[in-house]
């Protein structure tokens, strides 16, 4: 069997087109454009590239966006001050603090300063609590994008056995919660595996849906995949490759060529989950703008 590819790029573009149509409609009705405030701290090349993609996506969808670039030597207090400016700015509905932050900062303290109403990354404790208890709030964009990929590809999650490899705040934990919750794209029986899990291979082999978010290049090999499983690869890793022009190539957490011979469907890297993260950032920011409209409307 050769797995069918799940085309994240095409699905993400369809979502971005839907969002753009709604933004055009908003503007025609005199409502404000959704606004995203982006904070980029330091000179991490990959982060700068991600932020460029995010701000370009904003422009294409008709969003307002503002980007603040700060030097890696900036103090934590200065970063928090910029966050507070975005918190107070009525043209900004969503705030993205690109991670990772420089080592001298306490990430939790910085992120806790983003007002929960504009926390479109879903990392503030208020949103972590709201989402996990089924009371609304913003989910982190990457797991939300995986859910949308599964839904739009017609993958049945209800009753399925799902294994999430990885337990990070940004992906693994919220992914497991989304898959298990009583809702569309949920109702799965979920197992979370991580670097300390015993019987990892056997557990992965039980999965009808395997989401790999462990952050290790080509970690998932063919023997870890049940024949016919749906495999979602969240990883982006640099693998040294002297034959490549840059001396490395980008690979996912899945050994793509081997696993595609076993799975029924699989996401490629790049072009799978990555574009979905950006589409969901726009989606969360549009949701935030809608909520803001409701609050601003006269009673
Ligand atoms: N760095 C890598 N992924 C993400 C993400 O989803 N959000 C933020 N803020 N930073 C990231």
| Mean of all residue pLDDT scores within the chain | 97
**DSSP label of 224:** G
Collapse the DSSP code of 233 into the 3-class scheme (helix H, G, I; strand E, B; otherwise coil) and give the result. Answer: strand
| Arithmetic mean of pLDDT, 262-283 | 98
Cβ-based neighbour number of residue 180 at 10 Å: 17
Q: Which two tokens stand for residue 236?
A: 């982006």
| Arithmetic mean of pLDDT, 48-63 | 98
What residues contact 191, with CB distance under 8 A and at least 6 apart? Answer: 161, 162, 163, 164, 203, 206, 207
Å from CA of 42 to ligand 1 middle: 14
Ligand 1 atom with the smallest distance to the CA of 141 is 6
The answer to whether the CB of 284 is under 6 A from ligand 1 is: no
**To test ligand 1's pocket by mutation, which of 44, 99, 282, 284 has the most ligand atoms within 8 angstroms of CB?**
99
Cα separation, 106 vs 75, in Å, equals: 11
Q: In this structure, which residue's CA is closest to atom 9 in ligand 1? A: 98
Tell me what pLDDT residue 40 has.
98
Q: In this structure, which residue's CA is closest to atom 3 in ligand 1? A: 99
Judge whether residue 299 has pLDDT over 80. no
Give the H or E element holding residue 52. helix 45-60
CA 238 to chain centre: 19
Residue whose tokens read 């400016």: 85
Counting residues of the chain whose pLDDT is more than 90, the rounded percentage is 98
List the catalytic residues.
54, 98, 121
pLDDT one-digit tens code per residue, 237-254: 999 999 999 999 999 999
CA 283 to chain centre: 11
Collapse the DSSP code of 220 into the 3-class scheme (helix H, G, I; strand E, B; otherwise coil) and give the result. Answer: strand
| Arithmetic mean of pLDDT, 65-84 | 98
pLDDT one-digit tens code per residue, 137-194: 999 999 999 999 999 999 999 999 999 999 999 999 999 999 999 999 999 999 999 9
Judge whether residue 94 has pLDDT over 90. yes
Ligand 1 atom with the smallest distance to the CA of 96 is 9
C-beta separation of 75 from 15 below 8 A: no
| Arithmetic mean of pLDDT, 275-290 | 98
CA 43 to chain centre: 21
Tell me what pLDDT residue 296 has.
83
C-beta separation of 133 from 140 below 8 A: no
Judge whether residue 1 has pLDDT over 90. no
Å from CA of 261 to ligand 1 middle: 31
Judge whether residue 295 has pLDDT over 90. no
Tell me what pLDDT residue 297 has.
79
| Arithmetic mean of pLDDT, 37-47 | 96
The answer to whether the CB of 131 is under 6 A from ligand 1 is: no
C-beta separation of 214 from 166 below 8 A: yes
- Alpha-carbon separation of residue 17 from 56, 65, 97, 251, 290 (angstroms): 14, 18, 25, 28, 18
Å from CA of 289 to ligand 1 middle: 21
Å from CA of 226 to ligand 1 middle: 30
Å from CA of 298 to ligand 1 middle: 36
C-beta separation of 127 from 112 below 8 A: no
Q: In this structure, which residue's CA is closest to atom 1 in ligand 1? A: 99
The answer to whether the CB of 99 is under 6 A from ligand 1 is: yes
Judge whether residue 78 has pLDDT over 70. yes
**DSSP label of 38:** E
Judge whether residue 298 has pLDDT over 80. no
Residue 96, burial from CB neighbour count under 10 angstroms (0-12, 13-18, 19+): buried
Q: How many alpha carbons lie under 13 Å from residue 272 in its C-beta half-sphere? A: 29
Ligand 1 atom with the smallest distance to the CA of 142 is 6
Q: At what angle do helices 8-28 and 45-60 cross, to 10 degrees?
A: 50
């Amino acid at each position: 069997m050769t797995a069918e590819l799940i085309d994240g790029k095409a699905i993400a573009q369809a979502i971005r087109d839907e969002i753009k149509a709604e933004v055009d409609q908003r503007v025609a009705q005199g409502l404000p454009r959704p606004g995203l405030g982006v904070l980029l701290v330091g000179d991490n090349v990959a982060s700068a590239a991600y932020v460029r993609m995010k701000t370009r996506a904003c422009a294409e969808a008709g969003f307002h966006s503002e980007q603040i670039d700060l030097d890696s030597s900036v103090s934590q207090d200065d970063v928090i001050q910029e966050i507070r400016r975005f918190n107070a700015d009525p043209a900004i509905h969503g705030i993205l603090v690109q991670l990772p932050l420089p080592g001298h900062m306490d990430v939790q303290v910085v992120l806790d300063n983003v007002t929960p109403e504009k926390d479109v990354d879903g990392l503030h404790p208020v949103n972590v609590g709201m989402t996990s208890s089924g009371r609304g709030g913003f989910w982190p964009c990457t797991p939300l994008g995986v859910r949308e990929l599964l839904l739009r590809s017609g993958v049945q999650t209800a009753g399925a056995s799902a294994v999430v490899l990885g337990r990070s705040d940004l992906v693994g934990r919220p992914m497991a919660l989304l898959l298990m919750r009583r809702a569309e794209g949920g109702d799965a029986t979920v197992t979370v595996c991580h670097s300390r899990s015993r019987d990892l291979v056997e557990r992965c082999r039980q999965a009808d849906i395997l989401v790999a978010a462990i952050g290790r290049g080509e970690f998932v090999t063919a023997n870890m995949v049940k024949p016919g499983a749906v495999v979602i690869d969240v990883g982006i890793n640099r693998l040294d490759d002297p034959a490549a022009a840059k001396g490395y190539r980008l690979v996912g957490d899945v050994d793509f060529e081997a696993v595609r011979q076993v799975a029924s469907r699989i996401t490629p890297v790049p072009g799978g989950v990555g574009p979905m993260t950006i589409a969901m950032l726009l989606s969360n920011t549009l949701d935030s703008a809608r909520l803001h409209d409701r609050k601003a409307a006269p009673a």
